[in-house]
Chains A and B, each alone.
Chain A
């Protein structure tokens, strides 16, 4: 994920400068060597990452086969079905309410997840960045460990805590605060809690990265000018840490929007998100072109979010000059 913040910088020039044609030949040999080294990785990535997306684009314009798969005739049904629903009996078209509900739930839950993660993550990143250098690494380590542990296991852990006989309900009932267990599992709230839990480190890490270089003399200057603590936070710290906040929000929003495992486990069968709707088309739904079109729609939204991110970086960098 850190790759997002890297700009393809121009690296140090290699080798010695020889004049004229000789330099040109050496340069060409170097490029050839570089491409030769890079090609094997690119071939694998093309076969199992970029290539399949192109095939999916083709599939989204084909006709759905009766038992899954496709028939090789061109059809726009896949794309039309993203928003429209064709009645099987009288062929009338209507808006696909079920899809709209799922789109809306995906967007809503992703935004809420991002906000909650920001509210929890920003103070945490600030806390880590203001620790003394020796203990800072330990705190950072504590944030990174959950990030690298299995997402499925962490979702399972959350499920254990919130289910009806789980820790929260047992504790609340033991304290006599509720009579019946609260139904949290298999609701939208459960999905949001789960996603926040799972993606929180993605919010903390980029904010920390931009906080780390923060110059506290600016804060001191603010206090010298009689700013209140809140004003220092709003007018000095937040504007300077904004690139980290944007990066963190994007990094949480994108996987939330495409989440599959967390809503499947915590949302039950009914509370689907976009990822589950896509998967359904390749299972019981047996509508591969629709599944392909939905996937590409999701991809388009994600790319748009990334574009916003790249632009905001460009802006903050040109603003600094």
Chain B
């Protein structure tokens, strides 16, 4: 397609301008990219501030990273965030893999549309609505059982991570045809053996991609966590939300920068994994 505008197609160049250009579009796009990244720059820069404020930069230091590292609340919230994200992404990936196997490469059956709707529900219903609905449900369970542990957060996070884990796994499965599994069956492999030796290794990149997305989504969640958590059960994002109401020190910038780095890292790996899959 690119040769249409240029002389490479063997024809003489017919137009003095590129047919793809629209006035002002490139400029707008550049501004747009700039706007997306520019606000993050001061955030990261001030996390290295030697001074106390977010207004004057008084030189480079690791001071606020150290102070965040030594802050007991931050330690507690970070550990909880990691446990939660690891558990929820593991569970949701297992459930999503099974669901993807049960909904792809098959003849349409009754209820399939309803199943899709249920799996995608967390993507369509506003988070605040799910959050308060969970608050209503869990408040009565908490009152009835007197259990205030992490299980509420785990089940809530698992549920909204399912669609994020499901999408890449399903996409991967749809690109695989059944001939290899059929071949395995022809060679007297049991269905389980065929799954273990054929389907699973082929599906692995999709599963990994799904698990990573689920991990990031769980790690970043604010709204649902804020409404489901019991008191003293802060995760890193809800801890930060609480801090934003007080006088903000560059410590919040330091925590943000670390979280930012984790997200960028995971997304970069995901991106390359995805490209390799194609």
Measuring CB to CB, which residues of chain A are less than 8 angstroms from any residue of chain B?
Answer: 1-4, 8, 10-15, 27, 30-31, 33-38, 40-42, 44-53, 55-56, 59, 69, 119-121, 123-124, 126-128, 130, 132, 137, 139, 141-146, 148-154, 156-161, 165, 167, 170, 197, 200-201, 204, 215-217, 219-220, 223, 229-230, 233, 237, 254-255, 257-258, 260-261, 264-265, 275, 278-279, 282, 288, 291-292, 295-296, 298-299, 302-303, 306
Contact = CB atoms under 8 A, between A and B. Distances in A.
B105 A11 contact: yes
A160 B39 contact: yes
B167 interface: yes
B79 interface: no
A165 B54 contact: yes
B29 A53 contact: no
Contact of B29 (A124, A254, A275): A124
Interface of B: 1-2, 4-5, 15, 19-26, 28-29, 31-33, 35-40, 42-43, 46, 54-55, 91, 95-96, 98-99, 101-109, 111-113, 115-116, 118-137, 139, 155-156, 158-160, 162-163, 166-167, 174, 177-178, 213, 216, 219-220, 222-223, 227, 237, 240-241, 244, 252, 256, 259-260, 263-264, 266-268, 271, 275
Contacts of A230: 23
Contacts of B24: 123
Contacts of B266: 148
A200 B32 contact: yes
B206 to A, nearest CB: 14
Contacts of A149: 220, 259-260, 263-264, 267
Contact of B252 (A156, A257, A306): A156
A45 B162 contact: yes
A41 B103 CA distance: 12
Nearest to A70: B136
A30 B29 CA distance: 50
B126 A257 contact: yes
A46 to B, nearest CB: 7
A254 B23 CA distance: 30
Given A36-B102, A295-B132, A120 B155 contact: no
Contact of B36 (A42, A47, A165, A197): A197
A306 B35 CA distance: 29
A197 B31 CA distance: 12
A40 B95 contact: yes
Contacts of A157: 39-40, 42-43, 256
B39 A154 contact: yes
| Most B C-beta atoms less than 10 A away, residue of A150, A233, A257 | A150
B2 A41 contact: no
B125 A34 contact: no
B36 A142 contact: yes
Nearest to B263: A149
A216 B1 contact: yes
B160 A49 contact: yes
Contact of B133 (A55, A126, A217): A55
B167 A3 contact: yes
7 contacts: A48-B159, A49-B121, A121-B32, A153-B260, A160-B39, A200-B32, A255-B126
B275 A153 contact: no
Nearest to B163: A3
A34 B102 contact: yes
A150 B19 contact: no
A299 B126 contact: yes
Contacts of B38: 161
A141 B174 contact: no
B95 A142 contact: no
Contact of B137 (A52, A148, A282): A52
B109 A31 contact: yes
B94 to A, nearest CB: 8
Contacts of B4: 216-217, 220
A41 B96 contact: yes
A279 B116 CA distance: 29
Contacts of A130: 20
Contacts of A264: 241
The 4 residue pairs across chains A and B that have the minimum distance between CB atoms: A258-B126, A37-B102, A127-B29, A52-B133
Contacts of A291: 132
A19 to B, nearest CB: 17
Nearest to A162: B39
Contact of B32 (A124, A152, A282): A124
Given A144-B267, A156-B244, A217-B4, A1 B106 contact: no
A47 B155 contact: yes
Nearest to B216: A148
A261 B123 contact: no
A280 B95 CA distance: 34
B230 to A, nearest CB: 15
B42 A160 contact: yes
A137 B130 CA distance: 34
B159 A45 contact: yes
B106 A123 contact: no
| Most B C-beta atoms less than 10 A away, residue of A40, A255, A260, A302 | A260
| Most A C-beta atoms less than 10 A away, residue of B26, B107, B174 | B107
B237 A37 contact: no
A10 B107 CA distance: 6
Contact of B106 (A34, A156, A303): A34
